[in-house]
Chain A
Amino acid sequence: MNCRMAHDLLQQSLDGTPIESPEWLAHLRHCAECRALATAGQRLQEGLRVLTAPVPSPDLAEQIVERVRLDYRRAQRRLRQRWAIGLGLAAGFLLALAGITRQLTLSPPPTAMANRPSQLPKDITPAKRQPQLPDSAPTREPAAELSEVFAELSNETAKASEGLSEGLEPVANSARRAVDLFLRELPMETKTN
């Protein structure tokens, strides 16, 4: 057995495996270096046997529990704030949507379009381009009809928009109430036992 193998066996011995190798003992008898290391290994094991683990102060556990509780409370508060911000943004979006819808209902119907020849359908010719006929009343009829159709469409859109804004109003109100509730900064009381 050489010194390298003797060192390996010493490591095994320090791992906790009892070594009963005659070759090892024979090597230790004639190798002073390995014998000294093996003796030091025995001393180390003796020392480790009587070594006790460091004992924490008695109130350390309580301090840790308190800090953990405090940390939990902070985390919960942060979570509530994030919810409040999210709800606020959602409510703002809904309010903006409702506002835009309302604006659309208040805007005048596009009746002027009838007077803009360039935007009329091709099959509808403006009256002034028509050859002058003795009776001009029938030539005005298509434009008037189109104007009526636009007016009717506008009224329908207005009614639908009003309905939509009325429908969204309770949603917006409840979102506003939810935001108020979350922003009210109530002190968080958690269980102490």
Chain B
Amino acid sequence: MNNDEDASLVRRCLRGDDEAIRQLVNRFQAEVYGLCVRLLNHRHDAEDVTQEVFLRIFRGLRGWDSRRPLKPWILSIAVNRCRTWLSQRHRRPEAVDYLQDTLAGPPADDTGELVEEIHKAVAELRLEYRTAFVLFHEQGQSYEEIAQVMNRPVGTIKTWLHRARMEILERLRRRGMVPETMKSEPEA
């Protein structure tokens, strides 16, 4: 869907068109929910926050700049909402939730374990790194789009993403998810 179609959909939503509201929710709910699950590490919280995110989206639709793409704007609201939620969750009882994502294909050898380790590693990243990682690797956003979502320069996003990857790689190594490599050859 291009920008014109987005703008048309938003205009219909602003007129109170039920079908347009439903269309917008159906279009973005999986991405918003997926992002919330990864950032909050808690499915039930993610559902609550997803609902709040959409309320804020519809309340703020008039403020959306129709010259800009809709998706980064929506994801930025989701990121901000998750950040607020996490800052408040420190004062609530610790949320424990085990993510049970299914694999795209049949599990081969240790793939299930590998996916679980990646999830755990992502969950342990600090929020900025985690957000950049999830937006890039799971939401398929470019560096520029992530910069827009997180309201930071592209260089900062690159740094955060690279550090996030390095931390995950180190964890995979520590947890034995990387096969032993051959001994180094002497440098010629």
Q: How far is the CA of A46 from the CA of B173 in the complex (A)?
A: 15
Q: Cβ of A41: which chain B residues have Cβ within 8 Å of it? A: 165, 169
Would you give the shortest CB distance from A95 to chain B, in whole angstroms?
Answer: 35
Q: Determine if A137 is an interface residue (Cβ-Cβ < 8 Å).
A: no
Q: Complex formed: what's the CA distance from A176 to B71 in Å?
A: 47
* 6 A-B contact pairs sorted by A residue (CB < 8 Å): A30-B185, A32-B183, A47-B114, A63-B51, A192-B18, A193-B18
Whether A48 and B178, one on each chain, are in contact in the complex, defined by CB atoms closer than 8 angstroms, is no
Residues of A within 8 A of B (CB): 7, 11, 14, 29-32, 35-37, 39-41, 43-44, 46-57, 60-61, 63-65, 67-69, 71-72, 75, 190-193
- Residues in A neighbouring B115, C-beta threshold 8 A: 47, 50-51
CB-CB < 8 A to B99: which residues of A?
54
Chain A residues lying within 8 Å of B47, measured Cβ to Cβ, are 56-57, 60
Contact partner of A40 among B31, B54, B178, B186, CB < 8 A? B178
Q: Which residue of B lies closest to A56 (CB)?
A: B33
Which of B22-30, B82-90, B148-156 faces chain A? B22-30
Q: Is B58 touching A71 in the complex (CB atoms < 8 A)?
A: yes
Are B162 and A11 in contact, CB atoms less than 8 angstroms apart? yes
Do B30 and A50 have beta carbons less than 8 Å apart?
no
Chain B contact residues, CB within 8 Å of chain A: 16, 18, 21-22, 25-26, 29-31, 33-34, 37-38, 43, 46-47, 50-51, 54-55, 58-59, 99, 101-105, 111, 114-115, 117-118, 137-138, 162, 165-166, 168-170, 172-173, 177-179, 181, 183-188
In the complex, what residue of chain A is closest to B56 when comparing beta carbons?
Answer: A71
Bound together, the chains give a CA A52 to CA B138 distance in angstroms of: 9
A64, B25: Cβ atoms under 8 Å? yes
Are A36 and B181 in contact (CB-based, < 8 A)? yes
A51 and B18 form a contact (CB under 8 A): no
**Candidates B50, B59, B179; contact of A71 at CB < 8 Å:** B59
- Contact call B33/A54, Cβ cutoff below 8 A: yes
Could you tell me if A30 and B50 are in contact, using CB atoms closer than 8 angstroms? no
In the bound complex, do residue B18 and residue A54 qualify as a contact, i.e. CB atoms below 8 Å apart? no
Closest beta carbon of chain B to A9's beta carbon, Å: 12
